[in-house]
Amino acid sequence: MLELQSVNKQFGGLRAVDDVNFSVQEGVIKAVIGPNGAGKTTLFNLIAGNLAPTTGKISFLGQEIQGKKPHQIACLGMSRTFQNIKLFHGMTALESVMVGRHIRSRAGFLAGMFHPPSSRKEERAIREKSFELLELLEIAEYADVEATSLAFGQQRAVEMARALATEPRLLLLDEPAAGLNIYETAEVARLISRIRDMGITVLLVEHDMSLVMDISDEIVVLSFGRKIAEGEPLAIQQNPEVIKIYLGEDEELAA
Amino acid sequence: MKSSKFFPITLLIGLVIGIQILTQLTETTYYLTQLTMAAYYTLVVIGLSVLMGYAGQISIGHAGFFAIGGYLSAALTTHNLFGLQEHAVVKTLGQLGMLVSGQDLYGEQLLTVAPWPACLFAIVVAAVIALVLGVPVLKLKGHYLAMATLGFGIIVFRIGLATEFFGEADGISEVPAFTLLPAIAGFPALSVSGDFGNRAENYYIAWALLISGMVLLLNLIDSRTGRALRSIHGAEEAAEAIGINTARLKLAVFVLSAVFAAVAGVFLTHYNGGIGPSEASVMKSVRYVALVAVGGMANLWGVLIMGVTLTFLSLRGVFGTYDDAVFGTILILVMLFAPDGILSIRGKALLSRLKKNNA
């Protein structure tokens, strides 16, 4: 459903993403891993439309999306979370998720000001659906708490619920386990699997190997902006190139 | 509908009626004049509050939109088209019933645009200008947006001051009354004018307008669009990521707040019977920003209360010749000690804040 063809991104002289090709099949969990500075987040920003590639093609559900604005891409059915959580200030957890229903609802300015019966009905539907998502992510008890005052792991969950509220076909998760302890990470892993089982394709960028190896169907490894390996978790674990960048080069072997 | 949301509105309506009766009983109806004007100015301020507090976009040019509304309505309803009555445009307007004829004080024939079309024209022009200005300007953020809107306000001010059509430094006077509803079925006509006899009536017109505006904005904030607006302020990137077209939404709120300002401009001008360049001045724009800040930015009720109170005091002349200085000082103090508005202050919190600042 998502396909990257020779995608490049240059910042001045730096090739942050260098001729990357891969595709994501519907219904899988695919992970992009790599050491710090490998260009993972840049790659994500290219896919989600926060950055435009210097050259190359990105297609999503058969449409070319490079150069489109993030909100346009979101409307096509792609949603994302952020590495450094971006929640809306002054909104409760429930409201934060309700905002996620934006593209799935219609009431405009005038309906907003006059609250006709049609928009009241829609508003109720938004509220119910959002609450269901909070329940799905097991944070329904915090529905009326200001989202930014929740614990870190719960904030992550709110962000995921918000992304799910857009009813995406593809969900991008940028380091969903960053800053979480091992219990919380295991919890997130369980959630991600559950999201996949709902029929939503997941592409995630991650640092945490345990999470990636446990849940991914396929893994892409980046190093210095280039793809150095792609395959199933087991194959990746045994790939000498990957071991080299993660564990460092064995001097005797290199010689 | 949640009843809690509209309980304060009911309370406010009661208060408005109570004050009118009280002034009647104590024969202090002269207060109603300033309360009427304060209501109109506060209409600008609550519109700006949605733009600044909820959508997070500053404008130091809203006096410009107020002035566009006021000036256009004033110019159209006062300029004598009698000499041009053979002109095709004037003829068409006449056929559409948009003109009124009369006589001035010296018995000269007058032919002017009627207030209703003038009012609508003024508001539409203000909205279009906001749209055209907003497209490039709202791409800017923070200080840059502030500077750009400030520049716009200055342009409007200078145009009023330099154009003969708008009366240059004298402004426009002898603006006629604005008849909202003609006399029908025994009810007297409802018109916006500064006649002493119409004082109570105009007080109610102004407050009805302000309260309606308030209800519309409260509804808006508590809707799909309102949530999207608030999300822009919180984290624009995240708002985009869930499919919110932030550029279009910002533009829409900018236009909405400009329309609120223009409506206030039109009504106040007909009420005062004139408008002068000071209404477009930068200090007026700064005052609106200060009132939004004092009220707590994203707090429509706070903004309404502080807007009415401070504007009323200012109009009563309580601040004397230091009027503008007072509003400047208020802005500084609020930013330092009560960034969430005066009504958010609690004694202890303020003390600890002071201590921290001194430490």
Judged by a CB distance cut-off of 8 A, whether residue B313 touches chain A is: no
Q: Where are the alpha helices (DSSP H) in chain A?
A: 40-48, 70-76, 93-99, 109-114, 117-136, 152-165, 182-197, 209-215, 233-238, 240-247, 251-254
Fold entry, domain A1-77+168-255: Rossmann fold (3.40.50)
**B327 close to B101: Cβ distance less than 8 angstroms:** no
pLDDT-above-70 percentage for chain B: 94
Cα dist. B55→A50, A111, B50, B302 in Å?
A: 21, 18, 6, 17
In the predicted model, is pLDDT for residue B312 greater than 60?
yes
**Cβ neighbours for B277, distance < 8 A, ≥ 6 positions apart:** B67, B157, B160, B161, B169, B171
A182-186, A229-233, B92-96, B355-359: the lowest-pLDDT one: B355-359
From B227, B237, B241, residue closest to A79, measured CB to CB: B241
Judged by a CB distance cut-off of 8 A, whether residue A146 touches chain B is: no
State residue B348's pLDDT score: 57
Spatial distance between the Cα atoms of B13 and B19, rounded to a whole number of angstroms: 10
Provide the domain count of chain B.
1
Q: Which of chain B's residues have a Cβ under 8 Å away from the Cβ of A111?
A: 223-225
Mutate to test the interface with A, among B50, B216, B217, B223 (most CBs of A within 10 A): B223
Judged by a CB distance cut-off of 8 A, whether residue B257 touches chain A is: no
Nearest partner of B209 among B273, B265, B278, judged by Cα: B265
Amino acid residing at A135: E
Nearest partner of B98 among B270, B81, A101, A159, judged by Cα: B81
Q: What is the rounded average pLDDT for all residues in chain B? A: 89
**A170 close to A200: Cβ distance less than 8 angstroms:** yes
In the predicted model, is pLDDT for residue B124 greater than 70?
yes
Q: β-strands A14-24, B274-275: how paired?
A: unpaired
B229, closest residue in chain A (CA to CA): A99
**A85 close to A159: Cβ distance less than 8 angstroms:** yes
State residue B171's pLDDT score: 92
Judged by a CB distance cut-off of 8 A, whether residue B241 touches chain A is: yes
Spatial distance between the Cα atoms of B182 and B114, rounded to a whole number of angstroms: 13
CA torsion B266→B268→B269→B270, rounded to 10°?
Answer: 90
Spatial distance between the Cα atoms of B190 and B110, rounded to a whole number of angstroms: 23
CA distance A224 to chain B (A): 26
From B234, B239, B246, residue closest to A90, measured CB to CB: B234
Judge: B241–A103 Cβ closer than 8 Å, yes or no: no
**Secondary structure (3-state) at B334:** helix
In the predicted model, is pLDDT for residue B84 greater than 80?
yes
**B49 close to B276: Cβ distance less than 8 angstroms:** no
State residue B4's pLDDT score: 64
Spatial distance between the Cα atoms of B359 and B344, rounded to a whole number of angstroms: 23
Query: Regarding predicted confidence, which is higher, A249 or A190?
Result: A190
State residue B350's pLDDT score: 60
For the segment B28-83, what is each residue's pLDDT rounded down to a tens digit?
A: 889 999 999 999 999 999 999 999 999 999 999 999 999 999 999 999 999 888 88
**A15 close to A43: Cβ distance less than 8 angstroms:** no
Other beta carbons within 10 Å of B52: 24
From A48, A98, A113, residue closest to B220, measured CB to CB: A113
pLDDT interval class at B94 (50, 70, 90):
confident
Spatial distance between the Cα atoms of A26 and B270, rounded to a whole number of angstroms: 64
Q: What are phi and psi of B129, to 5 degrees?
A: -60, -40
**Secondary structure (3-state) at B218:** helix
Q: Where are the domains of chain A?
A: 1-77+168-255, 89-165
Judge: A98–B237 Cβ closer than 8 Å, yes or no: no
Place of tokens 């992510």: A137
Spatial distance between the Cα atoms of B114 and B125, rounded to a whole number of angstroms: 17
CA distance A20 to chain B (A): 23
Judge: A123–B237 Cβ closer than 8 Å, yes or no: no
Judge: B233–A88 Cβ closer than 8 Å, yes or no: yes
Judge: A119–B223 Cβ closer than 8 Å, yes or no: yes
State residue B354's pLDDT score: 62
Mutate to test the interface with B, among A47, A89, A109, A174 (most CBs of B within 10 A): A109
Mutate to test the interface with A, among B227, B230, B232, B297 (most CBs of A within 10 A): B227
State residue B26's pLDDT score: 92
A110-144 as b/e: b if 16+ CB within 10 A: ebbbebeeebeebbeebbebbbebbebbebeebbe
B227, closest residue in chain A (CA to CA): A99
Total residues belonging to chain B: 359
In the predicted model, is pLDDT for residue B358 greater than 70?
no
**Secondary structure (3-state) at A248:** coil
Judge: A87–B256 Cβ closer than 8 Å, yes or no: no
For the segment A244-254, what is each residue's pLDDT rounded down to a tens digit?
A: 887 766 555 54
Spatial distance between the Cα atoms of B234 and B238, rounded to a whole number of angstroms: 9
**Secondary structure (3-state) at A15:** strand
In the predicted model, is pLDDT for residue A54 greater than 60?
yes
In the predicted model, is pLDDT for residue B1 greater than 50?
no
For the segment A73-116, what is each residue's pLDDT rounded down to a tens digit?
A: 999 999 999 988 899 988 999 999 999 999 988 888 888 898 88
pLDDT interval class at A255 (50, 70, 90):
very low
What are the respective helix, strand and coil percentages of chain A, to the nearest 5? 45, 25, 30
Judged by a CB distance cut-off of 8 A, whether residue B212 touches chain A is: no
Query: Regarding predicted confidence, which is higher, B337 or B310?
Result: B310
Spatial distance between the Cα atoms of A157 and A58, rounded to a whole number of angstroms: 28
Spatial distance between the Cα atoms of B42 and B210, rounded to a whole number of angstroms: 7
Spatial distance between the Cα atoms of B324 and A253, rounded to a whole number of angstroms: 78
CA distance B174 to chain A (A): 35
Judge: A123–B217 Cβ closer than 8 Å, yes or no: no
**B2 close to B218: Cβ distance less than 8 angstroms:** no
pTM of the complete model = 0.90
**ipTM rounded to 2 decimals:** 0.87
**A42 close to A134: Cβ distance less than 8 angstroms:** no
Judged by a CB distance cut-off of 8 A, whether residue B44 touches chain A is: no
For the segment A141-184, what is each residue's pLDDT rounded down to a tens digit?
A: 999 999 999 988 889 999 999 999 999 999 999 999 888 888 88
Judge: B235–A126 Cβ closer than 8 Å, yes or no: no
Judge: B241–A48 Cβ closer than 8 Å, yes or no: yes
For the segment B162-211, what is each residue's pLDDT rounded down to a tens digit?
A: 998 998 889 998 899 998 888 777 777 888 988 888 889 999 999 999 99
A124-138, A235-249, B284-298: the lowest-pLDDT one: A235-249
| Helix B300-315 and helix B199-221, axial crossing angle in degrees, nearest 10 | 150
Other beta carbons within 10 Å of B321: 7
Domain that holds residue B61: 3-358
Q: Running DSSP on this structure, what letter comes out for residue B187?
A: B
State residue B47's pLDDT score: 97
Element of type H or E holding B325: helix B323-337
Judged by a CB distance cut-off of 8 A, whether residue B245 touches chain A is: yes
